[in-house]
Amino acid sequence: MFGWKKSLSTQTGVPPKPAADGAPRSPEVGGVEMASRQGPPKHPNRFAWKPNAGQKKNETEVGGKFRPYSEITGVCPRCREQIDWKRRYGKYKPLIEPAKCQKCTKRAVRQAYHNLCSNCAREHGVCAKCCCKTEQIIGRESSEVEAEQKALEEAIKNSRERDRRTLLRAVRFSDLYFTLHYVA
């Protein structure tokens, strides 16, 4: 999207205006060659790239048919994507033994690339990898999610019509919406 807009302004010869918010514009990258490229790639991959494609895979290794990867939980969507990327591209190094938690220093970290144990992460409400405070944690404990959902449903049920609409509107913008929208 952005690239298309950028190429349009270079083609028509209109000097790029500074951004409205006063932020410095990034210099044009790639020159004409890049700016004139539009649409999908000319030679897209017909199948996804596979790490170690020519080598025989040991199916009993982690990630093999007999030992599939565990679910990535307790992290924010961004960290989940990072870990998933490592898996897809053969860079994932599973933990051999539990790692030290950076908060409680116990050897209680059981997932690769996590910095906090699940207890500490939950206690502080942060992502176990980047330690950022985030609303959306992937794969929280189902009991926790259920309790939260019940409380919200109860609140919606007990509220006045006007508040109810406000609440539902707030929910609609959160990830809870997908499990709650049938209430509306």
Taking the least distance from each CB to Zn ion, the nearer of 101 and 112 is 101
Count of CB atoms situated within 10 Å of the CB of 172: 13
Element (H, E) at 119: helix 118-124
d(CA 158, CA 167): 11
Shortest gap between Cβ of 72 and Zn ion (angstroms)?
11
Taking the least distance from each CB to Zn ion, the nearer of 87 and 164 is 87
Instruction: Give residues with Cβ within 8 angstroms of 44, minimum separation 6.
Output: none
Can you tell me whether residue 118 is helix, strand or coil? helix
Taking the least distance from each CB to Zn ion, the nearer of 128 and 171 is 128
d(CA 84, CA 20): 37
Taking the least distance from each CB to Zn ion, the nearer of 35 and 117 is 117
CB 168 within 8 A of CB 158: no
User: 């609303």: which residue's tokens?
Assistant: 135
Taking the least distance from each CB to Zn ion, the nearer of 132 and 170 is 132
Shortest gap between Cβ of 142 and Zn ion (angstroms)?
20
Q: Which residues here bind Zn ion, judged by CB under 5 A?
A: 76, 79, 101, 103-104, 117, 120, 127, 129-130
Shortest gap between Cβ of 147 and Zn ion (angstroms)?
22
DSSP 99: E
Shortest gap between Cβ of 18 and Zn ion (angstroms)?
34
Shortest gap between Cβ of 136 and Zn ion (angstroms)?
10
